[in-house]
Amino acid sequence: MKKFIKALAVTTAASSMLLAGAATAAEKIGVVNFQEVMAKIPQTAAVMQQLEAEFKDEKAVLVQLEKDIKYFQEKKKRDSSLMSEKELQELDQKVAAAYQEYQGKGKALQQQVAKRQNEETNKILALVKQAIDNIAAKDKYDFVIEQKAVVFAKPDASITDKVVEQVSKLN
């Protein structure tokens, strides 16, 4: 009798796993490649141009500081034999001050650019998410997974092109 109950329990467990597998197979799963979407949609290029224009003046200041530092260094190399000790010290101080200013402004600019880039990227990601949600609802997908998380997917499971098309229309 104990053997019969064990066999019945094993059979029931195996049947449950088979039914669970069958239920899972009936689910419709889509795959999207976010990197490809971000590379193909026009909003990404527009944001890059916008940020480039927004920080153009700050970048120009950094470029000028770079030129100043190089000029002072070249001047020291070229004219050091003709300069007094005091003039050399003053030139070294100019180089150090310009370099310190360059580092400070460069770090501040880098942080500003990163902050603005994150803000704009989040706006684009919201559009991408909205497009994915619309496509998933329309085509009745149970799950949509990022392509990086999937080892294998059939080519027809990819909704990347549909997402690109839909987000591009929102431009």
> Is residue 131 packed enough to be buried (19+ CB in 10 Å), middle (13-18) or exposed (0-12)?
buried
Confidence of residue 170 (pLDDT cuts 50, 70, 90): confident
Helix (H, G, I), strand (E, B) or coil at 84: coil
pLDDT at 102 exceeding the cut of 60: yes
Residues 150-156 have a mean pLDDT of 87
Residue 13's pLDDT is what? 46
Structure tokens at 83: 């300069």
Task: Give the global pTM.
Answer: 0.69
Residue 4's pLDDT is what? 44
Range of the domain at 121: 2-169
pLDDT at 1 exceeding the cut of 50: no
Q: Report the Cα–Cα distance between both ends of the chain, in Å, rounded.
A: 71
146 bridge partner residues: 32
Residue 3's pLDDT is what? 53
How many folded domains does the chain comprise? Answer: 1
Determine the distance from the C-alpha atom of residue 152 to the mean position of all C-alpha atoms in its chain, rounded to a whole number: 23
- What is d(CA 148, CA 35) in angstroms, rounded to the nearest whole number? 10
* Domain containing residue 141: CATH number: 3.30.910.20
